[in-house]
């Protein structure tokens, strides 16, 4: 399932992020705000269970979230989505997977991985603003499935049709959430119109 979060607040902020004159501070803040807004929709189907509580009026059974949630940013750019989601799910644990894309071959290379032990029973939200060829997301999900993860959602800001198709073929069980589905990849593997290099724009490198 692919969900595109067409909401005016998200789209407006994403348009600001796309503008080439938007500087690092604003870019990072806008990404953080979009991540928070996306969380509402991403969590729509998270299971709840009835618990016994007491209000000032007496005992009652009410619903609370029933599953552990783990955020797994794909380093570096995925870090830009963590704080916004954490504001709404402050108890979420965080795992990390480091990936960089070879600029020539576009192949992903893993350089770091560390996950909470509950990865096999949790809802795992894999985070990366950009889904271009899909190589990094597919490799990250391969890794966490090897460690027992079963329930996985992929959360991205901007996707290319090529990356969405590749990810759906490789991991049909993984739901994909996007703020926008863009037109295409260019000849050097960047999303068009996209927003450029997300990691560099978040962290001020380059």
Asked if 73 is part of the footprint of ligand PRP (rule: CB under 6 A), the reply reads no
> Can you tell me whether residue 19 is helix, strand or coil?
coil
Asked if 108 is part of the footprint of ligand URA (rule: CB under 6 A), the reply reads no
Total chain residues near ligand PRP (CB under 6 A): 22
Judged by CB under 6 A, the residue of 31, 70, 72, 77 near ligand PRP is 77
Total chain residues near ligand URA (CB under 6 A): 8
Judged by CB under 6 A, the residue of 128, 144, 164, 182 near ligand PRP is 128
Residues composing the chain = 206
Q: Which residues contact 77 (CB under 8 A, 6 or more apart)?
A: 128, 129, 130, 198, 199, 202
The burial of 128, by beta-carbon neighbours within 10 Å (0-12 exposed, 13-18 middle, 19 or more buried), is given as buried
- Pick from ligand PRP, ligand URA, none: which does 190 bind, CB < 5 to 8 A by kind? ligand URA
- For residue 100, the number of C-alpha atoms closer than 13 Å in the C-beta half-sphere is 8
Asked if 159 is part of the footprint of ligand PRP (rule: CB under 6 A), the reply reads no
Q: How big is the CA angle at 201 (ends 101 and 100), to the nearest 5 degrees?
A: 15
C-beta atoms surrounding 63 within 10 Å: 10
Judged by CB under 6 A, the residue of 85, 132, 154, 164 near ligand URA is 132
CB 161 within 8 A of CB 155: no
Q: Which stretch binds ligand URA (CB under 6 A): 15-23, 36-44, 90-98, 186-194?
A: 186-194
- Pick from ligand PRP, ligand URA, none: which does 106 bind, CB < 5 to 8 A by kind? ligand PRP
Judged by CB under 6 A, the residue of 124, 135, 151, 164 near ligand PRP is 135
């Amino acid at each position: 399932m692919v969900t595109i979060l067409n909401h005016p607040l998200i789209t407006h902020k994403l348009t600001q992020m796309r503008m080439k004159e938007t500087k690092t501070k604003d870019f990072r803040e806008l990404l953080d705000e979009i991540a928070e807004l996306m969380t509402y929709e991403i969590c729509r189907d998270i299971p709840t269970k009835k618990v016994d509580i007491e209000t000032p009026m007496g005992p009652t059974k009410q619903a609370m979230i029933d599953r552990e949630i783990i955020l797994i940013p794909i380093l570096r750019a995925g870090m830009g989505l963590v704080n916004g989601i954490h504001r709404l799910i402050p108890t979420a644990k965080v795992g990390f997977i480091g990936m960089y894309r070879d600029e020539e071959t576009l192949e992903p290379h893993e350089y770091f991985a560390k996950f909470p032990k509950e990865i096999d029973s949790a809802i795992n939200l894999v985070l990366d603003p950009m889904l271009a060829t899909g190589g990094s997301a597919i490799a990250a999900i391969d890794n966490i499935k090897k460690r027992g993860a079963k329930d996985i959602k992929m959360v991205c800001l901007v996707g290319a049709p090529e990356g969405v198709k590749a990810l759906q073929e490789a991991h049909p069980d993984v739901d994909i959430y996007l703020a926008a589905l863009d037109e295409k990849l260019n000849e050097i593997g960047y999303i068009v119109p996209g927003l450029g290099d997300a990691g560099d724009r978040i962290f001020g490198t380059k």
